[in-house]
A and B are shown apart, each in its own frame.
Chain A
Amino acid sequence: MAEALSSIGYKLSHFSEFMAMGGYGFYVWSCYGLGLVVLAALVMYYRRRLRQALRDQVLRDQVTSGDGTTCA
Chain B
Amino acid sequence: MASILRFYHRLAPFWAKATTPSAVLRLLAAMQSWLGWGSVVLLAIGLVWSLLVAPPDYQQGEAVRIMFLHVPCAWLALAIYSMMAIMSAMALIWRHNLAFITIRAMAPVGAVFAFLCLFTGAIWGKPMWGTWWVWDARLTSMLILWFFYLGYLALLAVTQDRGRGERAAAILALVGGINVPIVKYSVDWWHSLHQPASILRLGGPRIAAEILAPLLLMIVAMTVFALYVICLNLRRLLIERKNLAARLRQNLVA
Q: Residues of A at under 8 Å CB distance from B? A: 4, 7-8, 11-12, 18, 21-24, 27-28, 30-32, 34-35, 38-39, 42-43, 46-47, 49-50, 53-54, 56-57, 60, 63-64, 69-70, 72
Inter-chain CA distance A38–B69, complex, in Å, is 13
Residue on A nearest B253 in the bound complex, by CB: A70
B127 close to A27 (CB less than 8 A): yes
Who on chain A is nearest to B108 by CB? A42
Least distance between A51 CB and chain B CB atoms (Å): 9
Inter-subunit contact B63/A27 (CB<8 Å)? yes
Please classify the interface of chain A as helix (H, G, I), strand (E, B), loop, or mixed, using the class held by over half of its residues: helix
Does B247 interact with chain A (Cβ within 8 Å)? yes
Q: How far is the CA of A53 from the CA of B116 in the complex (A)?
A: 28
Given contacts A7-B52, A35-B69, contact A24 B61 (CB under 8 A): yes
Q: Say yes or no: B229 contacts A46, CB within 8 Å.
A: yes
Q: What 6 pairs across the A-B complex have the smallest Cβ distances? A: A22-B62, A21-B62, A53-B239, A24-B63, A50-B236, A46-B232
State A12–B112 Cα separation when bound (angstroms): 31
B56, CB-defined interface residue at 8 Å = yes
Q: How many whole Å from A62's CB to the nearest CB in chain B? A: 12
Report A-chain residues with C-beta under 8 Å of the C-beta of B61: 22-24
User: In the assembly, what is the distance between CA of A70 and CA of B252, in Å?
Assistant: 11
Q: List 8 interface pairs A-B (beta carbons < 8 Å), by A numbering.
A: A4-B49, A7-B53, A24-B62, A34-B116, A42-B112, A57-B242, A60-B246, A60-B247
The answer for the CA separation of A70 and B112 in the assembled complex, in Å, is: 42
Q: Which of B10-18, B118-126, B191-199 contacts A (4 or more CB under 8 A)?
A: B118-126
C-alpha spacing A56/B61, complex, angstroms:
52
| Chain A residue with Cβ nearest B232 | A46
> Does residue B33 face the partner (Cβ distance < 8 Å to A)?
no
CB contacts (< 8 Å) of A60 on chain B: these are 243, 246-247, 250
